[in-house]
Amino acid sequence: MKNIAVWGFSWVPAFAHGLVRDLRVRWALEEAGLAYESRWIDPAQRHSPAYRRKHPFGLVPAVEADGATLVESGAIVYAVAEQSPALLPAERRIETLTWMFSALNTVEPPLWNLFVIDRLHGDEPWAALRRPGAVEEARARLAALADTLDGREYLLDRFGAADILMVTALRFVRHTALVAEFPSLDDYVKRCEARPAFQAALRNQLAGYMRHAPAAA
C-alpha cells in the first residue's frame, strides 16, 4: 500500500473523540509502519455526491491507497494487516480472521447498541426502558470475552489485527464501568491502549478535531 490517505470526520462532539472508526485504521497503519495522510470530511458533507463517490453510505472511514478507495473499517484493517506479518501472521491467519469477525459481528453490536442508547438517545423516554436489557446483553458478551482473555495478554499468542478491532469495539462502552467489571478485560484494554501505535493514532485523530473545532460562541 502506498500513497495512503485516511478519511475521518473533521469534527465530532467530545463524547465521540477517540471512538470514530477511522481510529482503528490509523492504529493498524501505525502498527504496520505505513505512512499515511489524513483527510477530513465535514459530517454535514458526508452525503455530498463527491464524498458518496468515495463511500457508498457516506460514512467514515474511507481510505484512498494506490489509486483505489477502500471502505469498511474491518476490511481496511484487514487490507493493512495483509501488508504486515506482525498483524496477520501467516500461521495464525484463520484464527486472526475469526477474532476479527468476532470483534465486529459478535462483540461490537451489543456495545454499539448501548452507546447509541446512552449517547445518541439518552434523553428520549424509550431509552430508559430499553437500557437495562441492553446493559445485560453487553455484560453477557463481555463476561464471555473476559473468560477467553483470562490468563492471556492478547486474543492470540501475540498482539495482532484482531486486537485492534476488539479494543476499538470495547471503547464504545468506555462511558460505563462495564469493562472495569472484568479485570482480564480491563487489563487487556489498558495493555493495548498503552502501545505507542495506539497513542499515535489517537493523537492524529484528535489533532484533526482540534484543528477544525467550531469557534466558541
Beta-bridge mates of residue 63: 6, 70
CB nearer to ligand GSH: give 115 or 182.
Answer: 115
Stretch that binds ligand GSH, among 54-62, 80-88, 133-141, 188-196 (CB under 6 A): 54-62
Using rule CB under 6 A, residue 197 touches ligand GSH:
no
Using DSSP's 3-state secondary structure scheme, residue 9 falls into: strand
Stretch that binds ligand GSH, among 53-61, 94-102, 157-165, 190-198 (CB under 6 A): 53-61
Using rule CB under 6 A, residue 21 touches ligand GSH:
yes
* Kind plus residue range of the DSSP H or E element containing 38: strand 36-41
CB nearer to ligand GSH: give 51 or 154.
Answer: 51
CB nearer to ligand GSH: give 23 or 182.
Answer: 23
Among 41, 59, 111, 155, binds ligand GSH (CB under 6 A): 59
Among 72, 80, 149, 209, binds ligand GSH (CB under 6 A): 72
CB nearer to ligand GSH: give 172 or 188.
Answer: 172
Among 1, 4, 6, 20, binds ligand GSH (CB under 6 A): 20
Using rule CB under 6 A, residue 145 touches ligand GSH:
no
**Residue among 14, 40, 12 nearest 26 (CA):** 40
H-type alpha helices, 116-193: 125-149, 161-170, 183-193
Buried b (16+ CB within 10 A) or exposed e, 29-42: bbbbeeebebbbbe
**Residue among 157, 164, 154 nearest 29 (CA):** 164
**Residue among 127, 168, 187 nearest 16 (CA):** 168
Q: How far apart are alpha carbons 129 and 41 in whole angstroms?
A: 35
Report in angstroms how near the CB of residue 61 gets to ligand GSH at its nearest: 6
Q: How far apart are alpha carbons 108 and 170 in whole angstroms?
A: 7
CB nearer to ligand GSH: give 60 or 65.
Answer: 60
Q: How far apart are alpha carbons 205 and 23 in whole angstroms?
A: 7
Among 10, 73, 96, 205, binds ligand GSH (CB under 6 A): 73
Using rule CB under 6 A, residue 60 touches ligand GSH:
yes
CB nearer to ligand GSH: give 89 or 109.
Answer: 109
Terminal C-alpha separation, the chain: 42
Size of the site for ligand GSH (CB under 6 A): 9
Residues that bind ligand GSH (CB under 6 A): 20-21, 46, 59-61, 72-74
